[in-house]
Amino acid sequence: MTLSTMTADLTYSDNARVVSARQPRRRRRPPFGLSTSVWAFIRTFIAASLTCLSAYAITDYVIDWQPLAWGVADRLALVAKAAALAAFPVLAAITVVAAQRLNAKHFANGDVKRGSALDINARFISNTYEQFLVFFAGNTALSLYVTPVDAQTVPILGAMFLAGRLVYWWGYHHNTYIRSFGFGLTFYPTVAVYAWLVLHVTTGLYFDI
């Protein structure tokens, strides 16, 4: 080894930063002091909202449909069809629960095991029933105010409710965040409907949808 090489090696070692293997890594603190789990649900909320908006916009653009008649009976008939479509998941879940009640593995000391498939499906039915009542009331009220140009909104909301409930059901069994995402697909459009109704009834203005 030459003298110049030794000098270069010593110079490099003097300038090199020594990092202790025992030095703990500093964790990045989530913004605004919120926990990582809260931020995960916020991202899920944003994803569900954007999915709802995109799905509605695309479907509304592709489906160019107007009813030939738009009396009260026609409006309620369309709501009934959308409601029948939206109610399919809870009908399927009731059928599944009825079959699972015949299986003893879902019970312990005469009670349903908490966290079992039967327990989860029963909870899904209860939540879907609550969601469906709010959805049905909002969709019915919406049909009484929208013009024939926006009549396709009623069945689109029914289809979105169906999709959201199916995703929610699957997520209830497998993944918490997928469950939250499915909840958003069901609930956020209903919130938007009630917001539209409040604005229209209180201001008299008609907002195209």
What the chain holds in terms of domains, given with CATH numbers, is 30-203 (1.20.120.550)
pLDDT at position 39: 81
**pLDDT tens digit string along 114-130?**
999 999 999 999 999 99
Half-sphere exposure of residue 54, counting CA atoms within 13 Å on the CB side?
Answer: 6
Question: Looking at residue 181, what DSSP letter applies?
Answer: H
Can you give the pLDDT at residue 182?
96
% of the chain with per-residue pLDDT over 90: 77
Q: What share of the chain is helix, strand, coil (3-state, %, to 5)?
A: 75, 0, 25
Contact between 169 and 124 under an 8 Å Cβ cutoff? The reply is yes
Q: Are 97 and 124 in contact (CB under 8 A)?
A: no
pLDDT tier for residue 7 given thresholds of 50, 70 and 90: very low
Report pLDDT digits (tens) over 56-86: 999 999 988 899 999 999 999 999 999 999 9
Cα 146 to chain centroid distance, Å, stands at 25
Tokens of 107: 């019970």
Average pLDDT over all residues of the chain:
87
Residue 110, helix vs strand vs coil: coil
How far apart, in whole angstroms, are the C-alpha atoms of residue 173 and residue 96?
14
Select, from the ranges 5-9, 16-20, 94-98, 101-105, the one with the highest average predicted confidence (pLDDT).
94-98
The residue assigned the tokens 């009630």 is: 194
| CA 201, chain centre distance (Å) | 27
DSSP 61: H
3-state secondary structure 136-149: HHHHHHHHCCCCHH
Q: What is the pLDDT of residue 14?
A: 44
Residue 171 burial (10 A CB sphere; 0-12, 13-18, 19+):
middle
pLDDT of residue 37: 74
